[in-house]
Amino acid sequence: MFGIPTIEWVGYAASICIAISLLMTDMFKLRIINSIGCILFVIYGFSIKAYPVGGINLFIFFVNIYFIIKMRRDKQN
């Protein structure tokens, strides 16, 4: 589309998800949307061999998952 490679669209989508997540006031929603952006950045980063981009976003994804689980557990108690 428009002569832009598909993987670049993945990068744009990742950036948009991250930006939208920063607008959230609900921490749970922020972590979910940010996680989606992180996974897209992991795909993007490893696809273009930008390993630091993929690696740090994989780490951030797992941090988000940790806090999502913690929020769910705290909510149950």
pTM tops 0.85: yes
- pLDDT tens readout for residues 5-43: 999 999 999 999 999 999 999 999 999 999 999 999 999
List C-alpha distances in Å: 37 to 17, 19, 77: 5, 9, 30
Q: Greatest CA separation found in the chain?
A: 52
The separation between the first and the last C-alpha atoms of the chain, rounded to the nearest angstrom, is 49
